[in-house]
């Protein structure tokens, strides 16, 4: 096992994906009253799952990019805005929990490494 194997790098990319998604969701919420605004989202799970599924080395996972997709197909209000504040709130808490899950796994891995190194 490498020190930084595919799952370690996957966690790193997953965490930055969740940070990006947090920013995108915050942007949707801050534009909840902007006429004509269309919401965006990042599906970092699928991108990362595809990258890990076909991964041969940690480097290939490290290069995974995430794209911000704008949803122009729906309309919530007469002014053309399609931000559903309740939906954004749900996505926001889902994303925070995602991130917390990834950080707990990461810190456990760091603790295992520390034990192996003999730090504790």
Partner 1 sequence: MGLFDALNVSASGMSAERLRMDVIASNLANANTTRGADGQPYRRQEVILQEKSPSFGEVLGGVMVAGIVDDPTPPRRVYDPGHPDADKNGYVTMPNVNPVTEMVDLITSSRGYEANVTAMNAAKQMFTKTFDVLR
Residues within the interface to partner 1 (CB under 8 A)? 15-16, 18-20, 22-27, 29-35, 37, 40, 68, 85, 88-89, 92-93, 95-96, 99-100, 103, 106-107, 110
Residue 52 or 92: which CB sits closer to partner 1?
92
Residue 57 or 115: which CB sits closer to partner 1?
115
Q: Which of 39, 41, 48, 9 is nearest to 22 (CA)?
A: 41
Smallest distance, partner 1 to C-beta of residue 117, A: 14
> b/e string for 63-84 if b means 16 or more Cβ within 10 A?
ebebeeeeeeeeeeeeeebbbb
With beta carbons less than 8 A apart as the criterion, state whether 75 and 39 touch.
Answer: no
Residue 57 or 96: which CB sits closer to partner 1?
96
- Strand (E) or helix (H) holding 42: strand 40-42
Smallest distance, partner 1 to C-beta of residue 56, A: 27
């Amino acid at each position: 096992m490498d020190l930084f194997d595919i799952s370690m790098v996957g966690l790193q990319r997953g965490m930055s994906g969740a940070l990006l998604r947090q920013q995108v969701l915050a942007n949707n919420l801050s534009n909840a009253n902007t006429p004509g605004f269309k919401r965006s989202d990042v599906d970092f799970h699928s991108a990362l799952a595809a990258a890990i599924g076909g991964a041969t080395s940690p480097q290939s996972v490290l290069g995974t990019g995430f794209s911000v997709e704008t949803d122009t197909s729906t309309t919530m209000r007469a002014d053309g805005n399609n931000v559903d504040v309740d939906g954004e709130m749900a996505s926001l808490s889902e994303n925070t929990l995602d991130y917390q899950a990834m950080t707990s796994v990461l810190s456990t891995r760091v603790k295992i490494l520390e034990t192996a190194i003999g730090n504790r």
